[in-house]
């Protein structure tokens, strides 16, 4: 793997670890009787469920079901209803059903229309193939006077698909990235409706992890999302990953991927009849062999020239990102994604250029612990160095920029662990242990601190000193970050792992 690794390679790794630490907590309980306040949205009235001083409105439609003729089109408005809708059950999971464009709202029980509480909109991860907004419990955020929205978006081929027959329908418009269009539609719904839940439409923070963080980076660059959010948080966002083009002569393109799939299900041609036949496919046919691990045919975000032009680092370097406060970072063992498919000795032996500098940077104590050295390299290539590049570019715009590194590992796991795995920060950020688990004393302190920093950032655009030291802005002089590590107390560093990241950056820019 190198810093030019495609999103497809990352997706293959994530799919191989779909039951690993990056998959977050279970949905917060079964459906119960609606007993919360009745609020009115543009579509109709809703009544949610009160629990732990928080009202949860589950399964709220933010767009029409993208089925039939609406498959592979921009999301259409949700239908209106006349009676009070009991918002007590989560909507369908986009991995499992096509009718899945629902979101969930967590709000303090005492919030009222006009409360103007800060809003946090969560975009889940899952390799653009699996996951659900329902799997994340926003209660601990809502208890700190924020309104939390967790969002579903189309996954797999339903969400990320291109074909010449579809391009012909909309040659000058956005193409292929229907899942990203769904995220924009959810943000539009928030703008139009969140005031009824006590939220402030003019103080919206988008945040997400992995595929969700990649989405955050693209939302920062997408003109269609401009003005719909006012702060952003990207957790493990793979900033140097290159989306493939929708169409390209003589090279791999998303349309070529789509054509191969169409041929497998017996659909030929690129005319209107082919588009109709594709939309008539059953859900089981549409989801056959989704992922195609190793084939390069995974359903993924693509460069359509309208919503997505290139990788995030290049977009930020060109100054095309939204001018909003930005908080980003990653974990100390992002290499956990690749452990099953990596031979550390081979990878170590393959490093021949600048080898002395590599060893000095990645094994300064001369341990010769090759698995750990390679894990550090993969972590820095995939997340840490791209995050520093994004932070550098964003800080140049004059916008507040904050960088973090999550390295906390429970004491019981430290002997066998290389660090915080991919997705391992989520339970601490949400201050909600995974189902059946619990925090040790240090972990509880880290969770409380991380959760409070995230809330402070959502409220003001500055994480401040919530739960620990004052979090300094990232700037060219110090390149400061906050590390959430052992000891239970966040620590500020300057030029963190600079030798390692400089070595990776040099290779990335060749």
Cα separation of 17 and 404, whole Å?
24
Residues 6 or more apart in contact with residue 9 via CB below 8 angstroms: 1
Report how far residue 191's alpha carbon sits from residue 229's, in angstroms, rounded to the nearest whole number: 9
Q: Element (H or E) spanning 256, and its range?
A: helix 254-264
In whole angstroms, give the CA distance from residue 287 to residue 281. Answer: 10
Nearest Cα residue to 51 out of 141, 139, 110 = 139
Q: Which residues are catalytic?
A: 210, 334, 422
Given a contact cutoff of 8 angstroms between Cβ atoms, the answer to whether 267 and 274 are in contact is yes
C-alpha 455/C-alpha 441 separation (Å) is 21
Give one word for 414, left, alpha or beta, with left for phi > 0 and alpha for psi -120 to 50.
Answer: alpha
Contact 422, 22 (CB under 8 A): yes
> Do 506 and 380 contact (CB within 8 A), yes or no?
no
Q: Residue 176, Cβ neighbours under 10 Å: how many?
A: 33
Contact call for residues 303 and 255 (beta carbons, < 8 A)? no
Tell how strand 85-86 and strand 45-47 pair up.
Answer: parallel
């Amino acid at each position: 793997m190198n810093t030019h690794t495609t999103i497809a390679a990352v997706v293959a790794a994530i799919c191989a670890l779909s039951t690993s630490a990056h998959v977050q907590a279970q949905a917060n309980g079964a459906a119960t009787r609606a007993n919360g306040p009745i609020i009115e949205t543009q579509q109709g009235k809703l009544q949610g469920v009160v629990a732990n001083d928080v009202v949860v409105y589950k399964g709220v439609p933010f767009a029409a079901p993208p089925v039939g003729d609406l498959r592979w089109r921009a999301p259409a408005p949700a239908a209106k209803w006349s009676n009070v809708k009991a918002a007590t059950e989560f909507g369908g999971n986009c991995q499992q059903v096509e009718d899945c464009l629902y979101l969930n709202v967590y709000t303090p029980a005492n919030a009222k229309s006009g409360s103007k509480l800060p809003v946090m909109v969560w975009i889940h991860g899952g390799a653009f193939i699996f996951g659900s907004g329902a799997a994340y419990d926003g209660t601990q955020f809502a208890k700190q006077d924020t309104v939390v929205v967790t969002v579903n978006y189309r996954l797999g081929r339903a969400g990320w698909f291109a074909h010449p027959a579809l391009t012909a329908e909309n040659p000058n418009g956005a193409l292929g990235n229907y899942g990203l269009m769904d995220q924009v539609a959810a943000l539009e719904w928030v703008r139009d409706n969140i005031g009824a839940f006590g939220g402030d439409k003019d103080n919206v923070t988008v945040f997400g992890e992995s595929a969700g963080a990649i989405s955050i980076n693209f939302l920062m660059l997408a003109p269609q999302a401009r003005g719909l959010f006012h702060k952003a948080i990207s957790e493990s966002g793979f900033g140097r990953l290159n989306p493939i083009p929708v169409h390209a002569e003589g090279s791999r393109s998303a349309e070529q991927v789509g054509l191969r799939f169409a041929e497998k299900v017996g659909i030929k041609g690129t005319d209107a009849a082919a588009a109709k036949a594709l939309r008539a496919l059953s859900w089981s046919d549409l989801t056959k062999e989704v992922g195609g691990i190793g084939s390069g045919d995974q359903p993924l975000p693509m460069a359509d020239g309208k919503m997505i032009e290139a990788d995030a680092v290049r977009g930020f370097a060109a100054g095309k990102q939204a001018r909003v406060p930005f908080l980003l970072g990653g974990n100390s063992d992002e290499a956990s994604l690749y452990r099953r498919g990596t031979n550390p000795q081979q990878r170590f032996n393959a490093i021949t250029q600048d080898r002395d500098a590599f060893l000095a940077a990645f094994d300064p104590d001369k341990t010769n612990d090759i698995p750990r050295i390679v894990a550090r390299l993969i972590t820095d290539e995939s997340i840490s160095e791209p995050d520093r590049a994004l932070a550098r570019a964003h800080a140049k715009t004059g916008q507040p920029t904050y960088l973090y590194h999550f390295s906390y590992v429970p004491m019981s796991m430290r002997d066998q662990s290389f660090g915080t795995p991919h997705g391992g920060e989520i339970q601490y950020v949400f201050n909600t242990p995974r189902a059946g688990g619990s925090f040790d004393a240090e972990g509880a302190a880290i969770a409380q601190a991380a959760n409070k920093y995230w809330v402070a950032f959502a409220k003001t655009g500055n994480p401040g000193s919530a739960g620990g030291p004052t979090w300094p802005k990232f700037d060219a002089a110090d390149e400061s970050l906050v590390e959430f590590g052992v000891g239970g107390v966040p620590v500020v560093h300057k030029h963190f792992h600079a030798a390692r990241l400089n070595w990776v950056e040099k290779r990335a820019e060749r």
